[in-house]
Amino acid sequence: QVQLVESGGGLVQAGGSLRLSCAASGLTFSRYTMGWFRQTPGKEREFVALMNWSRSSTYYADSVKGRFTISRDNAKNTVYLQMNSLKPEDTAVYYCAVDSSVLTQSRASAYDYWGQGTQVTVSS
């Protein structure tokens, strides 16, 4: 049974930083693309960042480029999202997800497994 558990969310002032973690179990973590998405009430889930299995490819949403960094430790079955220079508009529930296809995709519908989410709130 695949399980993804996010942690590291919280309340931070604008300009601050947070590091999210997502621990995976029940799958061969090193084989899959991992993604981060976020969602606010009433809106669709939005792509944030992804990294492929070999760490050779990363993609970011334009809104977070230069501020967020995705990384992964395949030995620890964990993917991270370092978020710097946070803005109030980054406030959302952040989810990690697994894409079990061989493609590298940013569509939420392409991801097969999801964590429960962690709340990030950025105050102005």
pLDDT, tens only, 7-42: 999 999 999 999 999 999 999 998 999 999 999 999
Residue 103 has pLDDT above 90, yes or no: no
Compute how many other C-beta atoms are within 10 angstroms of the C-beta atom of residue 52.
Answer: 18
Angle at 56 between CA 102 and CA 10, to 5 degrees: 90
Torsion of CA 64, 36, 70, 87, to 10 degrees: 30
Is-contact 59 106, C-beta < 8 A? Answer: yes
Pairing type for strands 3-7 and 10-13 reads unpaired
